[in-house]
Chains A and B, each alone.
Chain A
């Protein structure tokens, strides 16, 4: 199993509050990703990083920001959580860009 740790694994938060999800890897992979999984939509890319301080938007980036200050850590922040951001969030990593490995997921509920 790829060394990927997501925290927190489960969180309930109120609408309008900021939330940060953390992804930590021990594989020294260059690329890191944040996906969300929703029924009927599969896995959709939120943001990704191709190096320290190098990030780019994915297909559903509105309402999310990311930061990568170290190779091993990739943070996803919801500046002001909304109910539409209730989802399962998966962090993923890739080395050469041809296979991607996922973490165990973070379940977020916005009430």
Chain B
């Protein structure tokens, strides 16, 4: 199995920076996705990492280390609207295997 692990929930303050980690155990995969999901809504695409390293996209950045079986999503200048669930997903065999998601609460 892929054994994808994320913290269940995190809390951060508006304007701060937060890092959401994702660890996995798998024999091989094409890349790793991060999705954002607000309560009762569909997941929306944030980032996709294929190679090791940091991918930056505005306030959001994602990092992948294949050798360490580790990824993180970095959110800067947090806003209240960033309160949501963040899902990491391995892209493997044409399918996405999701982690359970990290529920992020942004407080004023």
Q: Do A and B come from one complex?
A: no
